[in-house]
Amino acid sequence: MTSEAGLSVRVTGQRRTARSHFAFDVALDFAVGLNVLFGPSGSGKTTILSTIAGLLRAESGRITLAGRVLFEHQTHVDLPPDHRRVALVFQSLALFPHLDASQNVEFGVPRSVARAERLERALGWLERMRVGHLARRFPISFSGGEAQRVALARALASEPRALLLDEPFSALDRELAQELSAELIEHIASAPIPVVLVTHDRALAHRLGERVTLLRAGKVERSGSAQELLPEVE
Amino acid sequence: MTSEAGLSVRVTGQRRTARSHFAFDVALDFAVGLNVLFGPSGSGKTTILSTIAGLLRAESGRITLAGRVLFEHQTHVDLPPDHRRVALVFQSLALFPHLDASQNVEFGVPRSVARAERLERALGWLERMRVGHLARRFPISFSGGEAQRVALARALASEPRALLLDEPFSALDRELAQELSAELIEHIASAPIPVVLVTHDRALAHRLGERVTLLRAGKVERSGSAQELLPEVE
Amino acid sequence: KPKSSEPIRVAAAADLAHAFDELKPAFSAKNRSEVTVTIGSSGLLAKQIDEGAPFDLFLAANTSYVDQVVKAGSCDGATEHTYARGRLVIWVKGADGARLSIGALAEPRFKRVAIANPEHAPYGAAARDALTKAGLWSQVSERIVYGENVQQTLELAKTGNADAAIVGLSLALAQPVGSWALVDEASYAPIDQALAVCTHGGNTAGGRKLAEFLNAPEGRAILRKYGFLLPGEAVAKVP
Amino acid sequence: MIDLEPLALSFEVAIVATAIASALGVALAGVLTLPRLIGREVIDSAITAPMVLPPTVLGYYLLVALGRESAIGHLFEALFGTPIVFSRGGAVVAATIGALPLITKASRAALESVDARLVDAARTLGASSLRGFLRVSLPLARRGIFAGVMLGFARALGDFGVTLMVAGNIPGRTRTASLAIYDAVLAGRDADATRLSLIMTALAIAVLVVAAHLTRSRSDDI
Amino acid sequence: MIDLEPLALSFEVAIVATAIASALGVALAGVLTLPRLIGREVIDSAITAPMVLPPTVLGYYLLVALGRESAIGHLFEALFGTPIVFSRGGAVVAATIGALPLITKASRAALESVDARLVDAARTLGASSLRGFLRVSLPLARRGIFAGVMLGFARALGDFGVTLMVAGNIPGRTRTASLAIYDAVLAGRDADATRLSLIMTALAIAVLVVAAHLTRSRSDDI
Ligand SMILES: Nc1ncnc2c1ncn2[C@@H]1O[C@H](COP(=O)(O)OP(=O)(O)OP(=O)(O)O)[C@@H](O)[C@H]1O
Ligand SMILES: Nc1ncnc2c1ncn2[C@@H]1O[C@H](COP(=O)(O)OP(=O)(O)OP(=O)(O)O)[C@@H](O)[C@H]1O
Ligand SMILES: [Mg+2]
Ligand SMILES: [Mg+2]
């Protein structure tokens, strides 16, 4: 049921260390617009986003984005992360500590953009995330919520064809979360790409999610609208 | 209005880098039991917790815990963090990457506890935080919510005289957050200490917070019950 | 207090390396005492002896280093004497060295000439003397490359990186390759090599015995064989 | 009066050698952190191994390898018209070889300690693995790399044995301070040797301190 | 037949010296990261500075400083009844001095790269600053420290000039492999020299590779 421009993910895989093992097997279709990925802690949300971004290699299956094959086990296609044009806001944010906020965001701006314009754009994104005042500051001095917003700005600035957000508002107060999700929706309207949002916040899921997928233990449990899936919101 | 066993914080201070500056000036009284610290991103919540824990030095004022002076500018008292017995769950968690979950928690168990018993206790805390199965695994393989729970277990295991929690449930789903906060309340009942909980989650604040303090731009804006301060919860 | 179990420890100049390969067993066969040899730059050895290095006998490549250790009280002045005189040769890697004279070094085919550092190596000082005497110093000095000791100097030519080396005869004789010609002995100050028995070792008596052995016919024969002139002997033919 | 020419030469050679060894060492360290490299530890150890030989002996082997009768020596002489041995180039080669293992090993350790998630982040932002290396790994590894470079510089400055063999000891041309100090000691000019040693040490400390402050003030900003 | 005694001696001396230099170097590095230290860079550079002197000359100065007529030498001889110079102790001192700056500088850089928040976390959990250092900073800095230790070991194994002067080149007592190789060269026993060099290099590579694998498998678990 995926649209031509959507993100289709049908993969199996696993993560293992000497002492643990986690397997996943999912078929997910993320249409253009907002998609909420919901699930208990440890159900594999981050794992699946990493697999889509190309940071983890799936063991079988296929990932396509807007018709383009990012990964296909059978044909040995496995695009490296930098060729996938999938931006990921990490749960751990992963801001570059040696770059200030504007440089962090500039890092994401495509190299095709003229040098002079890159800073402009970076500053623009910081403004939209309400952290323009941090431009010349380094991540070590950001508060939790400030860092989260810079990470969002950086991902958005990279003009991705798909955007994966791993609990991007978890450190923000409600007002700010609402403002930023509004910005996000506005952005999607102008650049129609699939956005996958991982969140534990049911209220947010309700507000944003026409499409919600419920993950449990590495498998899709159900998918549908927020109303159907998460009725018991306060 | 602080009880004898409470945590009294009356300090001013600042954080600065070459490119930024943030000043705070607060008078806070945290009684035994749960206290919620609420405030927008960047209002200084983390900064104040760090100051209480002794990781940041206040510029003036006084911090006492259960009648014991932790910091007093005038008399040049400034106990080092390890003498304060104040446990802090960092927003960034700060798990030790070279230690497995049980070792992380064991690190917190007081040295006065017999060696053989320390591991017991560590495992006990992991169980109570629903991450007993992670005991022998290293932090790199934890999901966001798993890491958060190990960090909680570590703080609790240190038998602190005050517990500071910086958004400890932000990566947990609602059910889990509820379970763990119940555990926390149970713990406080058995060991009556002040607990300061930073959260953006209004529902959680309502459920837990008889006492809520609202911080804004490094100053206390108001304090009172959750009903009074945060009425607009969904 | 000499202990018979203590070996006789000898500190010897670099040009004696090969001679000692033969001296050692010859001496031990007669005296039933073990000899250990430390080869090195006489200057460094002298400094070490001054700081108490446990040597019983010091064989330098000149006399002044021995004077120095005697003056410092580290070696017995009564035992100081010249045991050999070194001889200078021009050594080349090819087979045409036998007819060389020092004057030939002016030829452009000698792009690089290696000599030991004249500042502190006795053979180096002699080499410079000889070149100066021949009136070549100013011409050749541009093309000189210095080795820290004769052995290294020879190495520079042996590897083909210097076209000729001026070194001690003792060394030239030990080479399986190359050819050489003696430098006129009148053109440089004699390379008199002195020895002295030293006091910081554990076997001074052994040191004395070895010194005597070097002066005895058997020892002298070996030194002669390795290209040294001996005290009290006229300039002899090269073996 | 003390001859300052060897000092100037030493610093000149050490700076050039450190620059070369840094570029080479960091590149090697980068290769050594490639995920699918075979024989990683063997390569690393082989780069370190020359350190265990006495420098003059190492120098001797180099003299043979680079000398006028070697293939490399022939090639070099054909290309540049002058042999590499007994030249400043030889001194630079000698100092570079001394500095290389220090820089490589320190850089590798620092690069391996960089948080892999940051490089991952760079990749998802469209950075090639090379760009991720240059713009993320390298700057984050800077402390360790810099420590290696400073060690390399000190080692290059102090090289004696290898320089002696490969560059020769030619006054005004390849007589570095290290050689000059040694000569002075052996010639019994102890006062000269001590004076030159002290100047050398003091200058080296000054350079190291200034370099440390220069690189540190940049990161203090952060 | 090749005399293996110098090889055994070299490894013996290098292992002891590396152990001493590691303890000392890591402790020094710890001191160098103390927040309120004055003259940090000067101290660090002063530890590195001996590297810029020709080893034999450094050895000569050490010989004078530790010699039987020096205060230190007297003290040592009074305490242990035997002089430190021209002994294995002297060889250990020489190798230690060579290894120390490498270990110190690499360790300091690694320690400074440790995430300060982790040490903070340890402190709030009741760890003294010493415990925080030992249980958190040190293990997290292990890669860099280990790189320094391996460099230090290679340097200790290969020390020539300082050992030559301080320990002397006394057969059976202080003749390390490095000295034996040099001796072979001086005596024109080129084949011996090459053979010993090869064995030495191969052994060093083997030790370094094994050590790298041993330390790595521990952290692969994580
Ligand atoms: N490198 C790894 N090796 C082994 N297991 C891993 C590894 N990384 C994660 N896991 C396990 O895989 C499971 C899924 O992890 P993942 O991070 O995807 O969860 P999540 O849904 O994002 O959870 P959270 O909401 O807590 O962040 C967890 O049980 C985790 O312990
Ligand atoms: N080291 C620092 N130097 C300068 N300013 C800093 C530093 N650390 C934090 N700040 C600033 O101080 C303010 C308060 O930061 P703090 O981390 O206490 O906020 P917070 O209330 O915890 O916010 P959040 O909810 O986003 O975590 C922020 O504006 C932040 O930018
Ligand atoms: Mg996750
Ligand atoms: Mg915060």
**D6: pLDDT strictly greater than 80:** yes
Rounded to an integer, what distance in angstroms lies between the CA atom of residue A194 and that of residue A32? Answer: 4
pLDDT band for position B57 (cuts 50, 70, 90): very high
Strand-pairing partners, residue C182, are C89
Provide the 10 A C-beta neighbour count for residue D144: 32
Q: How many CB atoms lie within 10 A of CB E64?
A: 18
Confidence band (pLDDT; 50, 70, 90) for E217? low
**How many whole angstroms separate alpha carbon A60 and alpha carbon A63?**
10
Helix (H, G, I), strand (E, B) or coil at D103: helix
According to DSSP, the residues that pair with A198 across neighbouring strands are A37, A166
CA–centroid distance, residue A90 to ligand 3 (Å) = 9
pLDDT of D222 higher than 70: no
**pLDDT single digits (tens) E81-98:** 888 999 999 999 999 999
Partners of C144 in the beta sheet? C113
Model confidence pLDDT, tens digit, residues E131-172: 999 999 999 999 999 999 999 999 999 999 999 999 998 888
pLDDT at res. D219: 46
Q: What is the pLDDT of residue B5?
A: 79
Is B112 close to ligand 2, i.e. is its CB under 6 Å away? no
Residue with the nearest Cα to atom 18 of ligand 2? Answer: B44
Helices (H), B129-173: 144-157
Confidence of residue B188 (pLDDT cuts 50, 70, 90): confident
Q: Output Rg (C-alpha) for chain B, integer angstroms.
A: 17
- Using an 8 Å Cβ cutoff, are C125 and C180 in contact? no
* Shortest-distance Cα residue to atom 1 of ligand 1: B141
| Residue C162: DSSP 8-state | S
Q: Which of the residues C5, C6, C48, C151 would you substitute to probe the E interface, choosing the one with the greatest number of E C-beta atoms within 10 Å?
A: C48
Instruction: Name the residue with tokens 């609420």.
Output: B38
Q: How many Cβ atoms are within 10 Å of D9's Cβ, its own excluded?
A: 20
* Count of C-beta atoms within a 10 Å radius of residue B108: 26
> In this predicted model, what pLDDT tens digit does every residue of C4-50 receive, in sequence order?
578 999 999 989 989 999 999 999 988 888 899 999 989 999 999 99
Q: List, in sequence order, the alpha helices (H) in chain E.
A: 5-32, 40-48, 55-66, 71-80, 88-112, 116-124, 129-132, 138-140, 142-158, 161-166, 177-186, 190-220
For the cut 80, the answer to whether the pLDDT of residue B173 exceeds it is yes
Residues 6+ apart with CB under 8 A from B67: B4, B5
Q: What is the pLDDT of residue C234?
A: 61
Would you say residue A233 has pLDDT above 70? no
Tell which residue, E103, E45, E27, has the closest CA to residue D150.
E45
E164 three-class SS:
helix
* Beta strand pairing call for C191-197 and C81-86: antiparallel
- Ligand 1 neighbour A20 (Cβ under 6 A): yes
Q: Beta strand A77-78 with A68-72: parallel, antiparallel or unpaired?
A: antiparallel
* Pairing relationship of beta strands C191-197 and C57-59 according to DSSP bridges: antiparallel
Distance CA A168, CA A152 (A): 7
For B78, C14, C25, C173, the CA distances from C19, given in Å and listed in that order, are: 76, 10, 11, 10
Cα distances from E208 to residues D55, D145, E15, E21, E95, in angstroms, run 20, 20, 12, 17, 17
How many residues does the structure list for chain E? Answer: 222
The chains in contact with chain B, meaning 3 or more Cβ pairs closer than 8 Å, are A, D, E
Three-state DSSP class for B216? strand
What is the mean pLDDT of the segment spanning C150-165?
92
Q: How many whole angstroms separate alpha carbon D59 and alpha carbon A15?
A: 51
Ligand number nearest to the C-alpha of B150 = 1
Q: What is the pLDDT of residue A3?
A: 52
Distance from chain centroid for Cα B178? 17
Residue with tokens 């000898």: C10
Question: What is the C-alpha separation between D44 and D103, in angstroms, rounded?
Answer: 12
Q: Count of alpha carbons within 13 Å of C2, Cβ hemisphere only?
A: 16
The total of other beta-carbon atoms located within 10 Å of residue C26's CB is: 16
Ligand 2, residue B39: give the atom nearest the CA: 21
Tokens of B187: 């713990």
List, edge to edge, every strand of the sheet that includes B211-216: B86-89, B162-166, B194-198, B33-38, B211-216, B219-224
CB B74 within 8 A of CB E116: no
pLDDT computed for residue D4 by the predictor: 82
In Å, what is the CA distance from B170 to each residue of B126, B232, D10?
A: 18, 20, 59
CB atoms within 10 A of CB D128: 15
User: Looking at residue C75, what DSSP letter applies?
Assistant: B
Q: Tell me which amino acid residue B178 is.
A: Q
Q: Which residues surround ligand 4, an ion (CB under 5 A)?
A: A 143-144; B 46, 91
DSSP string, E104-138: HHHHHHHHHTS-HHHHHHHHHTT--HHHHIIIIIH
* Distance between CA atoms of residues C87 and C82, nearest Å: 14
Let me know how long chain B is: 234
What is the CB neighbour count within 10 angstroms for residue E35?
A: 5
Structure tokens at A206: 């309700």
CA-wise closest residue to A209 among A6, A37, A36: A36
Summary mean pLDDT of chain D? 92
The label of the residue with tokens 């940090």 reads E40
CA angle (A75 as vertex; A74, A76 as ends), nearest 5: 95
Please determine, for residue E52, whether its predicted confidence score (pLDDT) is greater than 80: yes
Which of the given ranges, A175-189, A197-211, C209-223, has the highest pLDDT on average? Answer: C209-223
The answer to whether the CB of B38 falls within 8 A of the CB of B229 is yes
With an 8 Å Cβ cutoff, is A17 touching chain E? yes
Whether D56 and chain E come into contact, CB under 8 Å, resolves to yes
**Which chain A residues have a beta carbon less than 8 Å from that of B137?**
17, 19-20
Stretch C185-193: mean pLDDT, rounded? 93
- What are chain E's partners, defined as 3 or more CB pairs within 8 angstroms? A, B, C, D
Q: Would you say residue B170 has pLDDT above 80?
A: yes
The Cα B15–Cα A141 span in angstroms is: 9
Q: How many other C-beta atoms can be found within 10 angstroms of the C-beta atom of residue A207? A: 17
Which residues have CB under 8 Å from B167's CB, separation 6+?
Answer: A144, A170, A171, B91, B198, B199, B200
Tell me the pLDDT of chain E averaged across its residues: 92
* Contact status, residue E8 vs residue E176, Cβ threshold 8 Å: no
**Does the beta carbon of A46 lie inside 6 Å of ligand 1?**
yes
The pLDDT score that the predictor gives to residue B149 is: 95
If you measure CA to CA, which chain A residue comes closest to B91? A144
Going through chain D in order, the beta strands assigned E by DSSP cover none
Chain B neighbors of D222, CB-CB under 8 A? 17
At A61, the amino acid letter reads G
Q: Which of A80, A92, A98 lies at the smallest CB-CB distance from D117?
A: A92
Above pLDDT 70, what percent of chain D? 96
As a whole number of angstroms, the distance between CA B147 and CA A203 comes to 24
Chain A touched by B132 (CB under 8 Å): no
* φ/ψ (deg, to 5) at D65: -70, -35
Tell me: pLDDT of A230 over 80. no
In angstroms, how far is CA C39 from the centroid of its own chain?
Answer: 10
Split at pLDDT 50, 70, 90, the class of B131 is very high
A33-87 per-position pLDDT tens digit: 999 999 999 999 999 999 999 999 999 999 999 999 999 999 999 999 999 999 9
List the single best residue of A19, A47, A130, A143 to mutate versus B (max B Cβ within 10 A).
A143
Query: CB within 8 A of D108, min separation 6: which ones?
Result: D28, D29, D32, D33, D44, E147
- Are the CB atoms for B82 and E123 separated by under 8 Å? yes
Nearest CA among B108, B109, B127, B126 for reference residue B118: B109
Q: What is the pLDDT of residue B1?
A: 42
What single-letter DSSP state applies at residue D91?
H
Pocket test for ligand 2, best of A140, A146, A169 (most atoms within 8 A of CB): A146
Rounded Cα–Cα distance for residues A103 and A119 (Å): 8
Q: How far apart are CA B169 and CA B145, in angstroms?
A: 8
Contacts of C15 in chain E (CB under 8 A): none
Beta bridge partners of B15: B22
Contact D183 C159 (CB under 8 A): no
Q: What is the distance of C-alpha D149 from the center of its chain?
A: 7
